[in-house]
Structure 1
Amino acid sequence: MKFALHFGNNTFPDPEGARRLVRLAEAAGFDSVFAVEHVVFPDNYTSVYPYAPGGRLPGNPSTRLPDPLIWLTWVAAATTRLRFMTAVMILPQRNPLVLAKEVATLDYLSGGRIELGIGVGWLKEEFEALGIPFERRGKRADEYVAAMRALWAGDAASFAGEFVTFDKVSCNPKPVAKSVPIVVGGHSEAAARRAGRLGDGFFPSIGAQVDIMPLLDIVRRSAEQAGRDPAKVELTLGCPGALPKSGADPRAAVEERIARGAGRLALPVTAFMPDLETTLARFGEEIIKPYANA
Structure 2
Amino acid sequence: MKIGVFASFMSPLATPQMIRDFGRRAEGIGLDSLWMGEHVVLFDRNTYGYSGTKDGRIPVPEGGGMLDVTASFGFLAAATTRLRLGTGVALVPQRNPLYTAKEICTLDWLTGGRIDFGVGVGWNKEEVEACGYGWEDRGARCDEFLEVMRRLWTEPVVDFAGRWVRFETCRLDPKPIQKPHVPIVVGGYAAPALRRAARFGAGWYGFNRDPAAVREVIARLDAALAMAGRKRGEGFEIIVTPPMSMPVDAMQEYAELGVDRLVVNLGSQRPERVDRRMAEIEALARRTA
**Contact in 2 for aligned 1:192/1:216 (Cα 8 Å):** no
Match of 2:272 among 254, 271, 274: 274
Task: Please show how residues 1-294 of structure 1 align to structure 2 within 5 Å.
Answer: 1-10=1-10, 13-59=14-60, 62-178=63-179, 179-206=181-208, 211-231=213-233, 232-239=235-242, 246=247, 250=249, 253-270=250-267, 274=272, 276=274, 280=278, 283-284=281-282, 286-292=283-289
SS in 2 for 1:77: helix
Q: What's the CA shift string for 1:59-83, capped at 9, x where partnerless?
A: 2784321110101110111000000
Secondary structure of the equivalent of 2:64?
A: coil
Cα distance in 2 between the residues matched to 1:60 and 1:278: 20
- The DSSP-based 3-state class of the residue aligned with 2:136 is coil
Cα RMSD between the aligned structures? 2.5
Distance 1:41 1:49, change over 3 A: same
- Offset, 1:39: 1.0
Percentage of identical aligned residues = 37
Q: In terms of mean alpha carbon deviation, does 142-151 or 122-131 score higher?
A: 122-131
Deviations 1:201-256 (A, max 9, x none): 11111269x9343111111111110112332321112345997xx3x6x2xx3432
Please give the alpha-carbon distance, in whole angstroms, between the structure 2 residues aligned to 1:238 and 1:283: 12
Distance 1:114 1:73, change over 3 A: same
State the 1:49 CA deviation. Answer: 1.4
- Partner amino acid for 2:64? T
C-alpha contact 2:186 2:193 (8 A) present in aligned 1:
yes
For 2:135 and 2:182, locate their aligned partners in 1 and report how far apart those are by CA, in whole Å: 26
8 Å CA contact retained: 2:8, 2:35: yes
**Residues 118-169 of structure 1, C-alpha deviations (whole Å, 9 max, x = no match):** 1101111112222211111011101111110101102112233222122221
Q: TM-score, normalised by structure 2?
A: 0.89
Given the superposition, is the C-alpha separation of residues 143 and 291 from structure 1 closer, same or farther in structure 2, using an over 3 Å criterion? same
**What TM-score do the two structures reach when normalised by structure 1?**
0.87
Q: Deviations over 1:21-58 (max 9, x none)?
A: 11110001101111111111123323221233332222
Amino acid at match of 2:166: T
Question: For the Cα contact (< 8 Å) 1:219–1:230, is it kept in 2?
Answer: no
d(CA) in 2 for partners of 1:59, 1:143: 32
In 1, Cα distance between the equivalents of 2:136 and 2:23? 37
Quote the Cα distance in structure 2 between the aligned partners of 1:23 and 1:173: 27
Distance (whole Å) between structure 2 residues aligned to residue 239 and residue 212 of structure 1: 10
The size of the alignment, in residue pairs, is 284
Distance 1:275 1:93 in 2: 33
Equivalents in 2 of 1:80, 1:278: separation in Å? 25
CA distance in 1, matches of 2:63, 2:268: 23
Structure 2 portions without partners, runs of 5+:
none
The one-letter code of the counterpart of 1:261 is: G
**SS in structure 1 opposite 2:213?**
coil
Partner amino acid for 1:83?
Answer: R
- Structure 1 regions of 5+ residues with no counterpart? none
Contact 1:188 1:215 (C-alpha < 8 Å) held by counterparts: no
